[in-house]
Amino acid sequence: MAVTNKLKVEVIDYLLRAEHEVKEVVKITDQYPDLSIEEAYDLQKKLIERRMEKTKTKRLGIKLGLTSKAKQEMMGVHEAIYGYLLSDMLAFEWEPLQQHRLIHPKAEPEIAFIMGEDLMGEEVTAADVMKAAKFVVAAIEVIDSRYKDFRFTLPDVVADNCSSAKLILGSKMVKPEELDLSNIGMVMSKNGEMVTTGSGSAVLGHPAEAVAWAVQKLAQRGEGLQKGDIVLSGALSEAVAFDMDDTIIAQFDGLGSVTLSSRYVK
């Protein structure tokens, strides 16, 4: 399918409306079964531009998805995906999430990189990422697919900015070289009970490998990471659904913990 400009606008409106009205929608490949991944990235780019315009938000960084072999196998794909983080997605540990603004949110434990330098190019390696990153920090990403029942194909999820909704950062900033990121253990609990565990190696062997992959992919579109970007390197385990009044804590070796709480607050 050639994605005409008219069609782009329609699909983008459809997804932005779903987010704004907090309503799940039928996935777009039901209507456009031939949508390619490259076309989906075109849609994503336009969607982000429109969303920034509408909500007066700025770029916060980049997120990776499907970086663990387990998640890739689940989806039957062999590639990770990336999307954009915007300034209004940043939430704080001391500020409960507004549950009524989310459709069917799930929490993912992640390692975030804070970039100290721009980084661009198709040859960028994990070592370059480690050098260009100023800090690593514990994070919880809240994903909230706009699609019905959280089910989608790869082009659907790419166009939907990889299910991005919110992110929360821990307060301990660590220099990347001070930790062996491939060996970091993580335990995530919900209301005091352990729900999932993981290791940094789940993220393509090493979280910096995942970030390097994203830099290479971005370079194909003439883009890169920017100084100050926050980069979410992908979930260390499966995502965990949560509801109002739930508290989720992800605790990482060497990075401390990060807490998500959710309430009905207007």
Give the footprint of ligand OOG on this chain (CB under 6 A). 65-67, 71, 108, 141, 143, 145, 157, 162-163, 234-235
CA atoms within 13 A on the CB side of 43: 31
Exposure string of 236-264, with b = 16+ CB inside 10 Å and e = fewer, is: bbbbbebeeebebbbbbebbebbbbbbee
Q: Does 108 sit near Mg ion (CB under 5 A)?
A: yes
Phi, psi of 157 (to 5 degrees): -70, -35
Nearer to Mg ion, 235 or 260 (CB): 235
Candidates 5-13, 16-24, 104-112, 198-206; binding stretch for Mg ion (CB under 5 A) = 104-112
CB of 165 to ligand OOG, least distance (A): 10
Q: How many CB atoms lie within 10 A of CB 106?
A: 20
Quote the tokens at residue 123: 């040859």
Residue 251 · residue 257 · CB < 8 Å: yes
Which residue is closest to ligand OOG by CB? 65
Quote the tokens at residue 236: 């260390």
The set of residues, in sequence order, having a beta carbon less than 8 Å from that of 171 and lying 6+ positions away, is 93, 256
CB of 81 to Mg ion, least distance (A): 10
Interacting partner of 71 out of Mg ion, ligand OOG, none (Cβ under 5 to 8 A depending on kind): ligand OOG
Distance CA 14, CA 146 (A): 10
CB of 63 to Mg ion, least distance (A): 6
Interacting partner of 204 out of ligand OOG, Mg ion, none (Cβ under 5 to 8 A depending on kind): none
Nearer to Mg ion, 3 or 62 (CB): 62
Q: Does 39 sit near Mg ion (CB under 5 A)?
A: no
Which residue is closest to Mg ion by CB? 141
CB of 235 to Mg ion, least distance (A): 5
Q: Are strands 247-252 and 256-263 parallel, antiparallel or unpaired?
A: antiparallel
Size of the site for Mg ion (CB under 5 A): 3
Residue 201 · residue 183 · CB < 8 Å: yes
Nearer to ligand OOG, 32 or 147 (CB): 147
CB of 141 to ligand OOG, least distance (A): 6
CB of 11 to Mg ion, least distance (A): 23
Distance CA 81, CA 158 (A): 7
The set of residues, in sequence order, having a beta carbon less than 8 Å from that of 265 and lying 6+ positions away, is 96, 98
Q: Does 160 sit near Mg ion (CB under 5 A)?
A: no
By the criterion CB under 5 A, which residues form the site for Mg ion?
A: 108, 141, 235
